[in-house]
């Protein structure tokens, strides 16, 4: 219903400011970008570009940052040799609060189709995990679930490596605790 008011809700425009089309010759090849940075990075980047109901100019300038964000999630759990470094350590109060704020914000943002703010909330959590040198599965498992709608390939691989059962895509969504 709300999209009926918009001429072209969430349209992505070429760098020339015009609607992307083959006839204008301003189409960006998603296949080329996918080959360079991966499908998960492309999906997450498009989600991070801005609200779904707002027009957005295409600019590939932020896609490498999104790729680094996903790489940082991976490195919290997996070392450079491919070994799992995640542990079962208890979470500090600060990390627990950050995790539950992220779960709340990501959940609400996804429900409101504010995918960009969901990704932003996860970026804040990842920064906090690095700040506290946290490699605990107690934080990484829910983070993996939160990132799954945006980066499903990364999430499924991490889920398995972290000891999750079944597919992360069908695991019960993490719940936040209001007191945290």
CB atoms within 10 A of CB 12: 16
Q: Please write the tens of the pLDDT for every residue from 27-68.
A: 566 667 767 777 888 889 888 887 777 766 666 778 888 999
The mean predicted confidence, pLDDT, of the chain is 86
| Residue carrying the six token digits 């999906």 | 43
Query: Which two three-digit tokens encode residue 63?
Result: 């896609």
- Report yes or no on whether pTM surpasses 0.75: yes
Q: Please write the tens of the pLDDT for every residue from 104-140.
A: 999 999 999 999 999 999 999 999 999 999 999 999 9
Q: pLDDT: is 8 or 76 the higher one?
A: 76
Q: Does the pLDDT of residue 164 top 50, yes or no?
A: yes
Handedness of CA 46, 74, 125, 144 (dihedral sign): positive
- List C-alpha distances in Å: 90 to 60, 94, 140: 39, 12, 12
Q: What integer pLDDT is reported at residue 4 of this predicted model? A: 36
| Segment 144-157 mean pLDDT | 97
How far apart are alpha carbons 160 and 158 in whole angstroms?
A: 5
Q: Please give the span between the terminal C-alpha atoms of the chain, in angstroms, as a whole number.
A: 35
């Amino acid at each position: 219903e709300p999209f009926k008011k918009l001429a072209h809700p969430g349209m992505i425009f070429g760098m020339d400011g015009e609607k992307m089309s083959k006839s204008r010759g301003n189409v960006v090849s998603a296949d080329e970008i996918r080959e360079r940075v991966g499908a998960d990075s492309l999906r997450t980047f498009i989600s991070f570009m801005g609200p779904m109901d707002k027009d957005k100019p295409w600019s590939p300038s932020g896609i490498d940052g999104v790729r680094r964000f996903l790489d940082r999630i991976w490195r919290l759990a997996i070392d450079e040799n491919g070994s799992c470094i995640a542990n079962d350590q208890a979470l500090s109060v600060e990390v627990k609060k950050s995790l539950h704020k992220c779960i709340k914000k990501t959940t609400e943002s996804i429900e409101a189709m504010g995918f960009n703010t969901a990704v932003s909330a996860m970026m804040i959590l990842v920064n906090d995990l690095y700040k506290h040198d946290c490699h605990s599965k107690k934080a990484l498992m829910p983070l993996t679930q939160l990132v799954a709608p945006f980066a499903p390939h990364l999430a499924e691989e991490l889920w398995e490596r972290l000891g999750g059962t079944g597919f992360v895509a069908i695991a019960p969504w993490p719940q936040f605790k209001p007191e945290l």
